[in-house]
Amino acid sequence: MIHKMPFGFYIDSLLKAFAKEDVFIFLLKNSFSGMIIFVICCYQGLSVKKSPHEVPQVTTQAVVKSIIYVTSFNMIVTAFFYMGRLKEMGVI
């Protein structure tokens, strides 16, 4: 069943749900994640010497390293950001 909800109410609810800090940390993490992927892929791509047979192996290495580094970066930034919030709230 579909409930009719005014669009203004929906937007207002979204704006109340997100804090400015959450939007900032979202933009920060995604910007740096993109840079991490870019640097890793460029480094791996430029490490290919003369053989075209190296390209699939280097591509796989770039993907795996990108996943590991981006996941680690996101976990560390999120932990630092929200640990401070939990301490402010008295949970920790």
Closest to 62 in 3D by CA, of 77, 48, 76: 48
Q: Is 51 domain-assigned?
A: yes
Is 77 domain-assigned?
A: yes
Total-model pTM? 0.76
Counting the structural domains of the chain, the total is: 1
Q: What is the pLDDT of residues 29-58, one digit of tens each?
A: 999 999 999 999 999 999 998 888 899 999
Q: What is the DSSP letter of 18?
A: S
Q: Is residue 2 part of a domain?
A: no
Kindly state whether residue 82 falls inside one of the protein's structural domains. yes
Does any domain span residue 49? yes
- Entry field: residues in the chain: 92
Compute the mean pLDDT over every residue in the chain, rounded to the nearest whole number: 89
9 belongs to a structural domain = no
Domain limits at 33?
A: 19-89
Has residue 85 been placed in a domain?
Answer: yes
Residue 33 maps to a domain: yes
